[in-house]
A and B are shown apart, each in its own frame.
Chain A
Amino acid sequence: MSSAQLLKIALCLYAAGVLGSLLSLRRERMANLLGFVAALLAGLCGIGSTLMVLLGGLGGEWPAFELWPSLVPYVRLTLRLDPLGAFFLLIVSILAVAISLYSLGYVRGFYGRKSVGVLAAFYNALLLAVTLVFTASNAFFFLIGWEIMALTAYCLISFEHEKTETRNGAVLYFIMSHIGTGCLILGFLLLFQYSHDYSFESFRQTAAAMAPERRDAAFLLFLAGFGVKAGIIPLHIWLPEAHPVAPSNISALLSGVMIKTGIYGITRVCFDFLGTPPNWWGVTVLTIGTISAILGVLYALMEHDLKRLLAYHSIENIGIILMGLGASLMFLHSGHPVLAALALIAGLYHTINHAIFKALLFLGAGAVLHATHTRNMEEMGGLIKRMPKTAFFFLVGAVAISALPPLNGFVSEWLTYQSLLQGFGTTSSLVRLMFPLSGAMLALTGALAAACFVKAFGITFLAQPRSEEARHAHESPGPMLWGMGLLASACVFLGLFPALFLRVFGPLTGQLLGQSLPEHLSLMNGLVLGNTQELGGTVSPLVMTLTGVCLLPIPLVLWWWFARRAQTRIGPTWDCGLRGLTPQMEYTATGFSKPIRMIFKALFRPRREVQREYDYSPYFAKTLRFESHIEEPFVTRLYRPLNRGILRLSRRMRALQAGSIQAYLIYIFVTLLVLLIWAL
C-alpha cells in the first residue's frame, strides 16, 4: 500500500469517526467505541503513511493529490505529504493512537452527564483538521484547515461549559486565536503579491526574491500569527486559561498537537518559503525562545493547579524548541548549513519529545483528576499507594520533561546545547555571546523544571493524602493505563535510541536545507549520538543505562555483606514529640516554591494579606487568614490597558450608532462623497 493511500484512509477514518459518533449521539457506549476506535485506526494509518515518507530517503516519492476539484479560483484543495509535514503528522498520529486508547476509558466518566458523541465527533474533527493543516499545499486550503482546527478546539475547550472558568478560558482562546489568524491572512496576502498564486510551490519560488522590508514584514506577521498558536510570550495568555479547563484527553491533544501547528508554521515559512534569513530573524526567534522558556517555567512553579502547571510548561518547552529553530536561522544566515541542520534537528526532536511527554503528563493529570475530582495539588498526596501505575507513568513523564538522562527530554536538550555551543565559533561579533548565554538560560530552565516536577510529583503522589477524596482515590481503568503506558515507552525509546530515530530527519533536512544528516551525528552503528564534529561531544543514554544496571550490584553486595542480619522496622515519621503527624503538617506546594518566589520577587510581585485575631499576645493567634497571589505583568501591564483602551474607544463609537435611520443615511452620503472626491 502506498503512502498516499494510507493517508487517504486515515482522512476517511477521521471523517467516519465524526459521522459515526454524531449518528450514535443517544447511545454513549456506541459513540465512545465508534469515535475513538476510528481515531485510533486513523492514527495507525497515519504512522504508516508518514514513516514511508520519512524512511524513504531523499529520493522517495512524496504523495500529492487533490481532494476534489474546486470551482472557486485560487482555492485548490491540494494535499502534499513532504518530509516536514510528514514529521509533524507522525507526532499527531502517535498521539492520536495513545490518546484515543486513553479516551476509551476516560470518557466513561461523562456517561449520563455529558454527550460523549459530541466529544468524540469534535475530537475526530480536530484531528482531521490538524492533518489537513500539516498536509495542505495551498494557502487557502491551509487556512480552511486552520480555522476548522481553531473552531473545533474552541468547542472542545468549552465542553464543560457550565463552569464560568471554562467559558472564560474558551472565549479568551477564541479571541487570541483569531488575532493570530488575522496576522496569517495578512502574511499570505503579502506573499501573494509576488507569487500571484496561493499554492505553496509558488511561494517557494518567489518569496525569497521579495523586497527586503516586505519579507521582514511577512516574517513578523507569520511569527505573530503562528506564535499565538504556539503560545510564545507575550502572546501566551490564553494558553494557561484554556488548556486546563478542557477535558484532560483534550488538554493532552491541545498541548501535544495543536500548539505544534505554530511551530510547524514557523518552520514552514522561515525555512521553506522566505529564503536565506537576515541575522535579526534568528536573533529574534532565539531571544523569544529564551524568554518564553524561562518565564514559562517560573510561572509554572507558582501554580498549584496541576493542569495549569502543565500548561505553563508548554510555554517553556515551546521556548526551548524556538531556541533550536532560532539558532538554526542564525546559522543559515552565516552560511553554516551543517550546523543549521543540527540546530533544526534539535528543535524538531524536542517538538516530538515535548508532544509525547506533555501528553503523557496531561493524561496522568487527567487520571488524578478522575480519581480525586480536583485539580488543586494542595488537596492531593499519597496517591502513589492508591494509583501506583499512574504514578509510575507520571514519574516517567516528569523525569523526561526535566531533561534528566536517560529519557528523551535529555537527548533533545543535549542536541540544543551542542548547537548553541558550536554557534560560538560561527561569527566573531558580539552576537556570538548570545549562544552561551542562552545555553546558560537553558540550564536555568532545566533546573527550575526539575524543581517544578519534584513539586508536582512529590506533592501529588507522595506522603499522606491531604483530603478525603485523595484518601479514597482509585487506580484508573485499563484503557487509560494502556494509553499512558504507550507514551511512557515512547519516552524511553526516544531517549535510549536517539540515533536510530534521527534517521527520519534525513529527508527533512534534505528538503529544507539541502543538507543530509551531519556526518558524525550517529556513531558506532547508532549506539552513540554525536554532533557535527568528530569527538566534538558524544553521548549514549543506552550505554549509560546499561552501565548503571551493571553498577546496581554494588549496593546490593554491600547490603549482603554488612546488613544481612539487620532488621527493618516500620515506624512513624519523626513528629517532634507531638502526638501523631497530620497531613496539615506536610510541606505544601505553595511552601515548596516559596524560596523561588522570594528570589524572583521583582518578577512575580507577590502580594500577601495576613489577618490575625488574638486575645492578648500576637504569638497566640485565635484565627489566622493568609492570602497571597502573584500577577502576570503581561496581563496587568499589557493586555488590561489594551482592553480598557478598546472598550473606551467603542464607547465613543457608540455615539455614532444612534439608531436613527436619518443619521445612518448621512454617514453613507458623506462616505460616498469622500470616496468620490478621493477618486478624482
Chain B
Amino acid sequence: MRIILAIVLQTLLLLVLAPLVTGTIRNWKAKLQNRRGPRVWQPYLDLAKFLRKDMVISEHTSWIFRAMPYVLLVSTLLAGLMMPLVCVLAPLNLFGGVLAFVGLLALGRFFLALGGLDAASAFGGMGSSREMTISAVAEPALMLAIFTVAISAGSTNLSQMLLASQGTVASFLTPARLLAFAALFIVLLAETGRIPVDNPATHLELTMIHEAMLLEYSGRYLALIEWSASVKQLVLMALLVNIFFPVGVTTNLAAGSLALSLGWFLAKLLVLAGGVVLVETTNAKLRLFRVPDLLSAAFILAALGLLSTFLFNEPAPL
C-alpha cells in the first residue's frame, strides 16, 4: 500500500514541480538579460492553453505520431519514480536503478525521434537526426560519470547510491565525485537542450534541435511533450543535486521531516537552476559540429574522475 501511495505522491510532485523549474529558469534568464520576462507560473498557463486547443495532425502521420506523446510522458515519469527526490527511498527503487533510468529516458527519446520523422517534413527529420547524434555522443560521458558514483557506492540503485555518500561532507565532496559532477553538468545542458548545445527559445529552423522534432505537434500532444521535457529536466537536475549533494534528503517518513527535505531539495534545485541560467546567459550557442568537442571534454572529466580514485586511494568495494 505504502509503495502505491509513494508512487502517486512522487508522480504528482514531478508533474507539479517540473513546469515551475522551467518557469524559474526562463524568468531568471530574462532578468539577467535586463528583461522583465514571463512570470514563473507562465509554463502552467501555457500547458493549460495547449491542452484546450484544437489539434491539426498531418495527413502523412501514422499511429507512431499519436502514440509518441503518451510513451514519452509515461517513460519520463517512470524514470522520475526511480529518482529519490525528497525521501531517500525512491518509490521504484527496487525495480530499476540508474541503468533503467537512463534506458527509460532513451526509450522516450527513441519515440520522440520517430515522431519527428513521421510527418514527412525535412525539419522533423533534421531534428531527429541531430537529437540522436547529440544524445549518442553524450551517452558515454553520462554513463562514465554515473559509474564513478555507482562503483564507490557498490550499487546501481539510486537510493543506495545516495545512502552510500550520505553522512559527512568528506564522503561526498571527493575529487572523483566533483569531476563526475562537472561532466554530468555538461551532459545536463546537452540533454535538456540548453544553450551551448541547443537554444530552447529559437524557432529558426536551421539552428534548432529539440523544437524541430515538435514542429508538427499542436494542442494536447504538444502539451504532453512540453510537460515531459520539463519533467525530464527536473529528474536530471535531481540526479545532479541529490546524488552528488545528498544533504537534507530524509530517510524518515514523518510529515515534518519530509517537508524539511522538500525545502532542501527546492533550495538545491534553485542553486543548480542559477548555474544553468548563468551558463546560458554567458555563452553563445555552439556550432553543431563543435558540440562533440564539448561532450568529449565531459567524457574526459568523467574519466579523470575515475583515475583520481587511484591517486586518492579510495577503497574499492568488494
- Judge whether B216 and A555 touch: CB under 8 Å: no
Within the assembled complex, what's the spacing in Å between the Cα atoms of A395 and B78?
21
CB distance from B215 to the nearest CB of A (A): 7
Q: Is the CB of A566 within 8 A of B53?
A: yes
B117 touches A587 (CB 8 A): yes
Residue A676 is within 8 A (CB to CB) of chain B in the complex: no
The 0/1 profile, CB within 8 Å of B marked 1, for residues 381-409 of chain A is 11011000000000100010011110000
Contacts of B226 in A (CB 8 A): none
Contact B316 A568 (CB under 8 A): no
CA distance A385 to B57 in the complex (A): 16
Select the residue from B11, B138, B156, B307 with max chain A CB neighbours within 10 A.
B156
A544 touches B100 (CB 8 A): yes
- State the CA gap A457–B125 with chains docked (Å): 12
Contact status A433-B306, CB under 8 Å:
yes
In the assembled complex, which residues on chain B have CB atoms less than 8 Å from the CB atom of A403? 103
Q: Specify which chain B residues have a CB less than 8 angstroms from the CB of A678 in the assembled complex.
A: none
CB distance from B236 to the nearest CB of A (A): 16
Contact B59 A573 (CB under 8 A): yes
**Distance from B121 Cβ to chain A, minimum over Cβ atoms (Å):** 5
Whether the Cβ atoms of A599 and B114 lie closer than 8 Å is no
Q: Which residue on chain A has the smallest CB distance to residue B12?
A: A554
- Chain B residues contacting A594 (CB-CB under 8 Å) are 129
Out of B106, B140, B302, name the residue touching A441 (CB < 8 Å): B140
Q: With the chains together, A162 CA to B191 CA distance in Å?
A: 50
Q: Within the complex, what minimum Cβ distance (angstroms) separates B123 from chain A?
A: 8
The contact size tier of chain B is 35 or more
A328 on interface, CB distance cutoff 8 Å: no
Stretch from B90-98, B167-175, B243-251, B266-274 that touches the partner: B90-98
- The CA-CA distance from A639 to B70 in the complex, in Å, is 50
Q: How far is the CA of A537 from the CA of B78 in the complex (A)?
A: 17
Asked whether any CB of chain B lies closer than 8 Å to the CB of A41, the reply is no
B220 touches which of A432, A437, A563, A574 (Cβ 8 Å): A563
> Are the CB atoms of B104 and A538 closer together than 8 Å?
no
The proximity string for B residues 128-166 relative to A, scoring 1 for CB distances below 8 Å and 0 otherwise, is 111011011111111110011011001111001000000
Residues of B within 8 A of A583 (CB): 120
Do A440 and B299 touch (CB < 8 A)? yes
Residue B259 at the A interface, CB < 8 A?
no
Instruction: Give CA–CA (A551, B91) in the complex, Å.
Output: 14
Determine if B15 is an interface residue (Cβ-Cβ < 8 Å): yes
Contacts of A535 in B (CB 8 A): 155, 157, 160
Report which of B136, B140, B150, B292 forms a contact with A440, defined as CB distance below 8 A. B140
- From 553 to 574 in chain A, residues with beta carbon under 8 angstroms from any chain B beta carbon are 554-555, 558-559, 561-563, 566-574
Instruction: Decide if the interface of chain A is mainly helix, strand, loop or mixed.
Output: helix
Q: Is the CB of A402 within 8 A of B139?
A: no
Q: Do A547 and B55 have beta carbons less than 8 Å apart? A: no
Q: Is the CB of A599 within 8 A of B318?
A: no
Q: Is B56's CB within 8 Å of the partner chain A?
A: yes
A437–B151 touching, CB < 8 Å: no
With A454-B114, A463-B120 in contact, do A440 and B154 touch (Cβ < 8 Å)? no
Please determine whether B74 and A404 come into contact, CB atoms closer than 8 angstroms. Answer: no
Considering the complex, give the chain A residue whose CB is closest to the CB of B104: A405
Pairwise interchain contact A574-B129, C-beta atoms closer than 8 A: no
Is B303 interfacial (CB 8 A cutoff)? yes
Q: Once bound together, how far apart are the Cα atoms of A463 and B191, in whole Å?
A: 26
**When chains A and B are docked, how far (Å) is the Cα of A568 from the Cα of B154?**
51
A432 to B317, CA, bound (A): 13
Residues of B within 8 A of A593 (CB): 129
Contact A422 B318 (CB under 8 A): yes
B15: chain A residues within 8 A (beta carbon): 554
CB of B69 within 8 Å of the partner chain = yes
B117 close to A458 (CB less than 8 A): yes
A210 in the interface (beta carbon within 8 A): no
> Interface 1/0s, chain B 72-107, versus A by CB < 8 A?
011101100100000000001011110110111011
**Nearest B residue to A427 by beta-carbon distance?**
B316
CB-CB under 8 A from B110, the residues of chain A are 399, 402, 404, 450, 453-454
Question: CB distance A462 to B117 under 8 Å?
Answer: yes
Q: A528 is contacted by which of B59, B94, B215 (Cβ under 8 Å)?
A: B94
Would you give the 0/1 interface string for A425-454, flagging 1 where the beta carbon is closer than 8 Å to chain B?
Answer: 110101011001101111110111011011
CA distance A446 to B140 in the complex (A): 10
Would you call A558 and B220 a contact (CB within 8 A)? yes
Indicate whether A417 reaches chain B with its CB closer than 8 angstroms.
Answer: yes
The interface residues of chain A lying within 8 Å CB-to-CB of B223 are: 558
Interface residue B288 (Cβ < 8 Å from any Cβ of A): yes
Q: Is B54's CB under 8 angstroms from A566's CB?
A: yes
Give every chain B residue within 8 A of A551 (Cβ-Cβ). 11, 73-74, 77-78
Query: Does B124 make an interface contact (CB < 8 A)?
Result: yes
Q: Is B197 an interface residue (CB 8 A)?
A: no
Q: A414-B100, A458-B117 are in contact. Are A421 and B160 (CB under 8 A)?
A: no
- Which chain A positions have C-beta within 8 A of B94? 523, 528, 538, 540
Return chain A residues, CB-CB under 8 Å to B278: none
Q: Mark A524-538, 1 if CB is under 8 A from B, else 0.
A: 000010000101111
Whether B292 lies near A555 (C-beta < 8 A) is: no
B122 within 8 A of A: yes
B156 to nearest A CB, angstroms? 4
Contact A555 B73 (CB under 8 A): yes
Bound Cα distance A581, B124 (Å): 13
Known: A414-B100, A454-B113, A537-B157. A544 touches B95 (CB 8 A): yes
Q: Given the complex, which residues of A lie within 8 Å of B119, measured CB to CB?
A: 463, 573
Asked if B62 is at the interface of the complex by the 8 Å CB criterion, the answer is yes
Residue A621 is within 8 A (CB to CB) of chain B in the complex: no
Per a CB cutoff under 8 Å, which of A433, A548, A554, A571 touches B56? A571
Choose among A417, A462, A562, A595 the residue that contacts B114 (Cβ–Cβ < 8 A).
A462
Q: Answer whether A458 and B128 are a contact pair too, CB < 8 Å, given A463-B119, A559-B220, A562-B52.
A: yes
Query: Which B residues are in CB contact (< 8 Å) with A62?
Result: none
CB <8 Å contact, A586 and B95: no
The answer to whether A571 and B59 touch across the interface, beta carbons within 8 angstroms, is: yes
Task: Determine if A513 is an interface residue (Cβ-Cβ < 8 Å).
Answer: no
Least CB distance from B309 to A in Å reads 9
A418 in the interface, Cβ–Cβ < 8 Å? yes
Contacts of A561 on B, CB cut-off 8 Å?
A: 51
**Is the CB of A642 closer than 8 A to any CB of chain B?**
no
Q: Which residues of A contact B302 (CB under 8 A)?
A: 440
CB distance from A298 to the nearest CB of B (A): 10
Interface residues of A (CB under 8 A from B): 381-382, 384-385, 395, 399, 402-405, 410, 414, 417-418, 421-422, 424-426, 428, 430, 432-433, 436-437, 439-444, 446-448, 450-451, 453-455, 457-459, 461-464, 523, 528, 533, 535-540, 543-544, 547-548, 550-552, 554-555, 558-559, 561-563, 566-575, 581, 583, 585-587, 591-596, 598-599
Q: What are 29 pairs between A and B in contact, CB < 8 Å?
A: A421-B156, A432-B316, A433-B306, A436-B144, A436-B147, A443-B142, A450-B109, A451-B132, A454-B117, A458-B114, A458-B118, A458-B125, A461-B62, A464-B60, A535-B157, A537-B156, A537-B157, A539-B100, A544-B92, A544-B95, A554-B11, A555-B73, A555-B224, A569-B56, A572-B59, A583-B120, A587-B126, A592-B125, A598-B289
Q: Which are the 10 A-B pairs with shortest beta-carbon distances?
A: A587-B125, A425-B318, A458-B117, A451-B132, A443-B143, A562-B51, A537-B156, A463-B120, A447-B139, A447-B136
Beyond A430-B310, A566-B55, 11 additional contacts (C-beta under 8 Å) are: A410-B100, A425-B154, A433-B306, A443-B144, A450-B136, A537-B157, A551-B11, A555-B70, A563-B220, A567-B55, A586-B125
